[in-house]
Structure 1
Amino acid sequence: MRAAFATSLNDTDPLAALTIGDAPEPTPRDGWAVVEVRASALNHHDLWSLRGVGLRADQLPMILGCDAAGIGPDGNDVVVYPVVFTEKGDFSILSEHYQGTVAERVTVPASNLVPKPAELSFAEAACLPTAWLTAYRMLTTRGRLEADGAVLVQGAGGGVATAAVLLATALGARVYATSRDAAKRERIAALGATALEPGARLPERVDVVVETVGEATFEHSMKAAKPGGRIVVSGATSGHLPQVNLRRMFALQLEILGSSMGTPEELADLMALMAKTGVRPIIDSVVPFSAARRAFELLRSGDVFGKVVLDHTR
């Protein structure tokens, strides 16, 4: 079967480690199922894998990709939940210890197959299991956002942050979002958020801060949170050791919460929300699988707004 996989590791030129070609057919373990992939979505995790972050040479070749939607063994449309748990209780996502989704077929635990709503296309559904699920869990399970609440999204334009803007708006919240890039602020404003420069004073303090930037924005996140507010962290692209004003934290009873991915049940809830509200992921490009290298080139360029999706039917 055709697949995109890492055949070497190259920190300076990750695309030099990428091979598009034939891979062995997946052999399911007991309790696992094979999915015929119709669409997969790329993440920056794929480029980090090609650089050797989280992937060792003795694991190669490794098929890339965490996100996919396709046809399950019973003929039903499914979305692949990408987290695989071990008997020891730890976990990894597809393409780390188990072969990934950028292939004609992928095998995963049968419990990882989540029914795809008919309202979502395969391309749309393939965008959800990593970035969108992370954003949904940050806002709901961890952030406990209420319909009349207010949210600050730091660093809007990134995958999780952009998803958080759309989802918070769909959940009925007032949304503020920051970006250093004027063009991205304009795009974010078009999605329903009040777009601001980093560090700008907000019209109100917020219930929830979606924090994926880290050191560069964390002080602003602390100042922007209302008494009892939640600062939910799922990334630290600018650094992971911010200064934290503990006096402000205990005086205002702020919560700093870590969040990562989500559960299959939350993925089902996310898709139900999207089917009901009409919210759809922003897709920058849909690339035929026959031009898969071009999709990785687009991702690496950084000149994208939204997800890069591979159409496995072409």
Structure 2
Amino acid sequence: MRAAYASATKPDEPLAGLTVGDLPEPSPPDGWVTVDVRASSLNHHEIWSLRGVGLPADRLPMILGCDASGVDTAGHEVVVYPVIKDPADPRGFSLLSERWPGTLAERVAVPAENLVPKPAGISFLDAACLPTAWLTAYHMLTARGRVADAGSVLVQGAGGGVATAAVALATALGKRVYATSRDAAKRERIAELGATAVEPGARLPERVDVVIESVGAPTFEHSLKCSAPGARIVVCGATGGPFPKVDLRRVFMMQLEILGSTMGTAEELAALLDLCVERGIRPVIDSTYGFSAVSDAFARLNSGEIFGKVAVDHLH
């Protein structure tokens, strides 16, 4: 079957390790199901894998990709939940494409419990954009940030998959949303999603109840200063650097919570799908490529110019 996979890892030139070609069909163990993939989407996880982060040489070649929607062997339309229970991993789980082959292929095998029914009201392409970035944002807002008790949200570094999802979801949930971006064009697009778009470090008209933080060192001081008493700063990444300066006096005087967050549950993915259908929310898609142009999709992701998700239509 055709697949996009890491044939080598190149820390300084990740796309040089990407190969598109034929690999063997999945051989699912007991309790696993094969899915015919109709659509997938890319995450920066794929770029890190091609750099060799979390993907040692002894696991190559490895089919890349965490996100997919498709049809299972019983003919059901499904969305693939990409988190696999893994006692050998310090986190207690692995993502598809770390230890087991990923979704950027004609077919993928996953545990049966990792299949979430796809609602009829959402397309394969839109559904395939939800399992990693949008689920991460949903979990950050609801489970970790307790956004139901919040009036306002700040999203740092909007433009990428998680941050853009957080803007769209928080707005749909009726919150006052502020979002930062260094790029003027991206700020215009953020405003179109219903948020107040500001430059990084800008003073906000109010202190917020929840901060969605994926940038790290360049923005964390701003996140602290923008937090209202008792606010939750929810952290899912550190793309700008993992070692910010933290004024602990502000943390304890304002009774702030700094919360780590990674992915979400299969039940939350089902709830996110239902919310998208009920509220008419659709993922922000930067660009869509046919599988024959998946190398171009990777180049687009790696460019750093994206706004939203890079999607792949496996039927073209």
TM-score normalised over the length of structure 1: 0.97
Distance of 2:255 and 2:203 partners within structure 1:
21
Residue-by-residue CA offset, 1:29-82 (whole Å, 9 max, x unaligned): 111110110001011111111111111111111000000000012211110000
Bigger CA drift: 64-73 or 292-301?
Answer: 292-301
Distance of 2:246 and 2:13 partners within structure 1:
36
Distance of 1:301 and 1:237 partners within structure 2:
15
* Matched residue, 1:39: 39
* Matched residue, 1:82: 82
What pairs with 1:86-125 in structure 2 (closer than 5 Å)?
A: 86-87=86-87, 90-125=92-127
What pairs with 1:289-308 in structure 2 (closer than 5 Å)?
A: 289-308=291-310
* Matched residue, 2:283: 281
Bigger CA drift: 180-189 or 256-265?
Answer: 180-189
Structure 2 counterpart SS, 1:176: strand
Deviation at 1:12, TM superposition (A): 2.3
Structure 2 counterpart SS, 1:146: helix
Bigger CA drift: 11-20 or 104-113?
Answer: 11-20
What is the one-letter code of the residue matched to 2:80? Answer: V
Residue-by-residue CA offset, 1:98-143 (whole Å, 9 max, x unaligned): 0000000000111000011111111100001110000000000000
Distance of 1:306 and 1:179 partners within structure 2:
13
Q: Aligned in 2, Cα 1:295/1:27: closer, same or farther, shift over 3 Å?
A: same
Deviation at 1:178, TM superposition (A): 0.7
Residues matched between the structures, number: 314
Structure 1 counterpart SS, 2:100: coil
Structure 1 counterpart SS, 2:147: coil
* Matched residue, 2:243: 241
**In the alignment, which of 241, 249, 252 is matched to residue 254 of structure 2?**
252
Distance of 1:307 and 1:238 partners within structure 2:
20
* Matched residue, 1:27: 27
Deviation at 1:88, TM superposition (A): 5.3
Distance of 2:149 and 2:122 partners within structure 1:
24
* Matched residue, 1:193: 195
What is the one-letter code of the residue matched to 1:250? Answer: F
Distance of 1:250 and 1:297 partners within structure 2:
44
**In the alignment, which of 128, 131, 151 is matched to residue 130 of structure 2?**
128
Q: Aligned in 2, Cα 1:82/1:296: closer, same or farther, shift over 3 Å?
A: same
Tell whether the 8 Å contact from 2:285 to 2:310 is kept in structure 1 after alignment: yes
* Matched residue, 1:57: 57
Q: Is 1:180 the equivalent of 2:190?
A: no
Flag structure 1 segments of 5+ consecutive residues without an equivalent: none
Deviation at 1:302, TM superposition (A): 2.2
Q: Which runs of structure 1 show a deviation greater than 3 angstroms over 4 or more consecutive aligned residues?
A: none
Tell whether the 8 Å contact from 1:147 to 1:173 is kept in structure 2 after alignment: no
Structure 1 counterpart SS, 2:148: coil
* Matched residue, 1:140: 142
Tell whether the 8 Å contact from 1:148 to 1:172 is kept in structure 2 after alignment: no
TM-score normalised over the length of structure 2: 0.97
What is the one-letter code of the residue matched to 2:2? Answer: R
Distance of 1:95 and 1:293 partners within structure 2:
17
Tell whether the 8 Å contact from 2:36 to 2:107 is kept in structure 1 after alignment: yes
Distance of 2:86 and 2:48 partners within structure 1:
23
Tell whether the 8 Å contact from 1:94 to 1:101 is kept in structure 2 after alignment: yes
Deviation at 1:160, TM superposition (A): 0.6
RMSD of aligned C-alpha atoms? 1.2
Distance of 2:298 and 2:88 partners within structure 1:
34
What is the one-letter code of the residue matched to 1:22? Answer: D
Tell whether the 8 Å contact from 1:179 to 1:196 is kept in structure 2 after alignment: yes
Deviation at 1:144, TM superposition (A): 0.3
Distance of 1:34 and 1:113 partners within structure 2:
10
Distance of 2:256 and 2:45 partners within structure 1:
31
Residue-by-residue CA offset, 1:207-228 (whole Å, 9 max, x unaligned): 1000011111111111111111
* Matched residue, 2:68: 68
Tell whether the 8 Å contact from 1:66 to 1:93 is kept in structure 2 after alignment: yes
Flag structure 2 segments of 5+ consecutive residues without an equivalent: none
Tell whether the 8 Å contact from 1:165 to 1:175 is kept in structure 2 after alignment: yes
* Matched residue, 1:171: 173
**In the alignment, which of 152, 156, 159 is matched to residue 158 of structure 2?**
156
Deviation at 1:146, TM superposition (A): 2.0
Between the two proteins, what is the percent identity of the paired residues?
68
Deviation at 1:148, TM superposition (A): 5.9
Distance of 1:218 and 1:15 partners within structure 2:
30
